Structures are given as structure tokens and as C-alpha cells.
Structure 1
Amino acid sequence: MRLWKQGHGPIGVDLDSPSIKLVQLSADGTTLVEAVRWDRSEPTAAAADDESVKETAAALRQAMSKGRFRGRKAVFCVPAADLMTQNVRVADGERESLAAWVADECAGRSGFSPETAEIRYLDVGPVRQGESVRREVIVLATPRNVTERLLRVADAVGLDLCGIDAEPLALLRCRLRRFRREEDRHEPKMFVNLGYRLTQIMIVRDHRPAFLKSVPVAGKELDAAVCRNLQLRPEVGHGLRRNYGDRRASRRDPEVMRSVQQAIRPLLERLAGEIAMAVRYFSVTFRGEPPATVILGGSEADDLARDFLQQQLHAAVELSDPLRAFEVRCRISRPLQWETAIGLALLGCNEKARYHERASASAKPESVQA
């Protein structure tokens, strides 16, 4: 009971398929006090908007009933699959003009405008392009109906929504908790998040994103490849890949292991190629040393994916450890699946660590207004 007297932060709510993850931290962001995962069926693309909101709200209510959450404040996120993310270059000028240039670039590349979409950008900084200097920015945009749907879900469940974050920024906030020393700030880092619907590749310098890209190679495609290769039902293929990816080598059946590896190899080779291209882009654009280590996380990351990527990239690849920076007061399994929810829960915490507060503020996106 003493812990709750210290206060609590908002509930971090990760609604991305195929499961809901909820996390609540202590008010100072140092202790993980509750975590609940609730599996649900993936919403069909043909589902009407009202039906989708109703199904999501019902699943969220069930998830919340399984945990001892305090208060009604919550932070949601726009999943990477609903985000347009892109590095673009605009004229290097006054900050007041930057938002207008970003809006023009976004409209030209994606058709999004401030009237129909929520558009944010991260100012990466000046870069040389030939003989001129341009400004590199990372654009994040999503249709307004996506954020409106989240507001309706929160209202239906009776939650006080105190923030909607972008999934890549929630992941960054969680992972930066590992790197709190001053010397960590100056080393570029590559974060790869192998999710269910998308994989996100992010390169960070000075605790700010310098490169961000979403790649359609993720758990859903890996499961489908295993099912095709072994002629399995979807739920069986998912369980087989996950169990063999986490299982120690001594407990793996060699023949089954070879079949799983053969099935997913082309997809992981493609992902390794995307990672290598991201490193080249970073090195050429910012003319600095590339990241020495790839930190792999996400709900679909495992030893099998790590070992394969390490072999393909000829670089160190390590699995993320999102619980390392927290005192954990609840039962929690498969830590890699909780990174987004932890990052969301951190957004509303009154953290004591000044260094982390500075790092979080440095990655706050600017808004493009209509």
C-alpha cells in the first residue's frame, strides 16, 4: 500500500493488434506497478468505424478489469501502421517558415494536409545537399479520423485521455531509459522494433531521432511465411515461430528449426537490407560514425531474428531490455512486447531524473497547424 501513497502515473495503453497492453508506473516513473495483456481478434479491414470503436472499447474494458489500475488518466498512441513517417529536406530558414514548408512537402508527397490530418515534425537539423544547406526533418502524419477514433474509444471506456503519442516516440522514450549517462548521449544508436504489422527502423543521435522508417516486414508476414512453408493453420504457425524463436538451441528440433528458418529467411534478408540502407543514409547525410550496435526489440523480436540479423549485417545485434531501468512490482512475461506501453506510461510521469527529462523534451515534435 505504501507504493500507492507515493502516487501513480497514467495508464499507458497500446491498442495495436493482436493484443492490448496496459502499463502503469509510479508517479516518479521508476517503478512498474501493473501490466496487463489482453489478446483479441484482429479487427477486419471491412469493419465499420462505429463497430471497430465498439469492439476495441469492449476489449479495453476487459483488459482493465484484469489489473489493479489506479485512476482514469491514460495515454494512447497512434500505431506505426497508421502513421506516415518520412525524412524530408526543406529550405533552411526561420522556424516560423518551417511548418509551412513541411506542410507543402507533406501535401506533395502523401496528399495529407493540416485540414485532413494531424501532422507533426521533428527538426533534425541542417545538412549539406550539394553546394547548398537544407534542413532535415522527420514528418509524422496520420488522418484525423485515426485520432478521433482513439478519442471515442477513451470516451466509451470512461478514460481521461491526457495524451496521444506516436508509437515511434513512445518506443524511443522507453529505450532511452537505458542510456542515461552523459557519454551515452553522443553515441549514435540504431533501434529496430520488430512489431506485428510493421518494423520501425530508427537512428538516434544526441537522444534525438535522425532517421525513421517503417518497413512492411513484421510478425504477421513471418507467421504467414511459416504457415505456407509448413502448411499450418495461422494460429499454429504463429505459436511455432514464437516458441522456436525463444527456445534454447538444445530444446529445438533440428528439422523443424530448419523449416522455420527457411521460411522466414527471405523476409529477414529484406529487413537486413533495409537496415543496411538506413546506416548508409545516416553516414552520408550526417557524415559521422554509424551506430556500432543494433538494438532489436518489439513484440516479435526473438533470439532467432537477432542471430540472423547479426550474421547478415556483420555487426553486433542485441535484444532490448525494457525492464532494466525499472523496479518491477508485478508479474510480467515477454518483456519486449511492453516497450510501447511503457513509453506511453512514461509520458505522463513526474520523473525525478533531470537528464531523462531533457532527453524526452528534445524529441518532442512540432505541430503543423491548418
Structure 2
Amino acid sequence: MTNKPIEEIKLKTKKYLELENVSFLFGAGSSFHLGAPVIRTIPKELKDKCLTEITNYFGQNADPSFEDLFNCLQADRYLQEMKGQDVSGINDSMVKMQKWLFEQCDTNKTTIHSIYTSDTKLEKNRYHYHEVLVKKLLQRPIHLKRANLFTTNYDMAFDYALDNLGVHYVNGFMGVHNRCFRPEVYDYDLYYPGQSVVGKVHRAEKVLRYYKMHGSLSWVATPPSVSNTYGIKEIPLNGDFTPDENNEIMIYPCVSKKSFTLDLPYSELFRQFAQAINQPQSVLICVGYSFYDEHINDIIKQALSIPSFTLIIANFSPSIDPNSEIEKLRALEDKRIIILDQTDASQSTFVSFVDKIMPDLYEQEELAYVTETLEKLYPSDESTNSNADTDE
């Protein structure tokens, strides 16, 4: 499929979007054009502030990932607390990292990446491509199951896009002024009554299921209470909030360590992901996800045991690493695994996928193909006469 024309890829993607179970998984690549950082390694400006911690846990001249360093701090804090020792220094280091992350991942304030500064659509609306994707996704027939939107990003790009469009998204939280994590919400749906008191109810159209699998800048850890049994609260990012020792944002600290014991909300989010894609007639479309999370990868591999499961991958990379997880999937030569050309920016970046690959289900592409075929099978008199004249 990677060598086929874009229009053919687009038409095939349209077929998969009409399946009963459709899920998307977005990684860091979906926020790249907004200027959000890829924190697989610690950027220099933060690394300079954390040299003491890096040297303490990893040694001189080490280059750990953001998640690895944050995980060490959390583990060390736990051990010191068990010993009854002071953890204020560790808390200060964690707050320092969270403040940096909070500032750098606020997509309302980030600078559009230099590659996209000439994009007039982004100039008018920085969430243009996120909104276009959501609008196209909502064109699926209403009788099908709700589409699932999973992301490993902490940022609020999709949150803002969904709010801008007035889309109701089920994200695991309930409440208005006191929004607390309640996983049973994922089983809810939205309907409204018909015109008569007695009769059928109608399913609301602008609804998506939204899962932030690694946490969010808007999730804050709070002491458990009767009204918030899990101790997780969602807050509005209105400029008044700043992470500190008493307001610790909930971000998944350990992306690559499979031995890490998952706790809520992450255990529930991963369970929801497994449940969503391990269904008959399911498709998972991964965009901007580099397959660095072993937990997620294991769930995807398990889904490949289902004959009707399809995996589509769009992840731009200027060079191909033959040892990458994506290339290992390609080597399986499984027709159910469709990998767009990673080195082709016209189809595998988030922006190009939304603009050129993600189909508009209301378009008449199929009708155009049918018309073209019929014209070839039954040419008009004019074309027949023209061919005859040419032969003479």
C-alpha cells in the first residue's frame, strides 16, 4: 500500500473507517507542527537544570529520557518516604521538571514549527488539522459504534479542538465544577428524546470517546475523598494553574518499563485500549506514534491474533531504522498491517495524513470511479467515431 497513489490509499482508508470498531492512536507526531517538544530525550535547557539529578541516577554525561529521569525521582521519593526521610529535595526536582513540561507543552503558547510557518490554515487556527480530522471522523454513520481517540500526548491539542467544535467527548471524568476520574463513564453514551414523549430516542451525533493514555497537563493528583475516590481531578487550564508540590500533574512517568506496576488511571486506560481494539471488525490507525511504548505495543500485537483486525501506521521519519518496531511489523509481511511510506512527508506526517489521506466520507469518490469505469466499458458515440477517424 505504501507504493500506491495517495488517492488509492485514501479510498482504502475510507473503507476501513466504515467498519464497526474504529480507533485512532496519536503520538508526539500529532503535535509536532504546533511546536510541542518530543521529550524522548531531555532538551538542553532542561538538562542544564537537572544535571545533579541526572548524574546522581545515571552517571556523568548520561542522556536519559524525560520519563526515565522522572521515574527515578518518583521511585526514589517512594523509597525515602518508606524510610521516613525528608523528600523535599526530590519534590523540588519533580516540580521543576513538571513546570518545564507544563510550559513547553501548552499548545496555546507554543510557536508553530518552522516547517509550517507558511501554512495559512495554521496561521488562522492552530488547531485546524486537529479539527478537520475530528469533523471527518464524526461523518461515520451514526449506527456504528463511537470512534475511539487514544493519545499518548500530555498536551491539550485535541482537547482544545474538540471544545472548539462543540463535540462532547467521554474522557473518563464526571462533574462540572469538581471533575473527578470515574472510569464507569466510558460505558456511557449520549441520547436525546424524540419529538413525542413516548417513542424512540435518538443518538447524539457529535460524540467521541477520548483517552489520554499517559495522563494530561490538566490532570492533578489530589487526596482521595468520598466524592473523589481515585484522587484524580481534571482542571481547566485558564492561566491560573501552576504545578507545585501540592498540585502535581498526572503524567505517566514510565513509558518503556514493562515491569512498572500500573495504577489508576493508567491501568484503566490501557484496559480500555485493549478492549477497544480486540473486537471483531476493528481497525487501529496510528498517526505520529513511533511504537516506543512497550505496553501499547504488546496490546497491538495481541490484537493481531484476531483475523479481522487491521493496523494502519502513518509515522514520518526522515530515515528508516531497520531495528525499529515499525520495521519489525513490516517484516511480518502481513496484509492486515498497512504502513504508509515513512520517508514521504506528503502522506505520513499528521498534517499530510489529515489533509490528503483522511477521507471525507461525504465525497463522491466511489461514484467517480464507477462512472469512469462505465465510460470505458460503454464509450459514447463521439469517442467511438473519434477512434474510428484516427484509425483511418
**Given the two structures, how large is their TM-score scaled by the length of structure 1?**
0.30
Q: Which has the larger radius of gyration?
A: 2
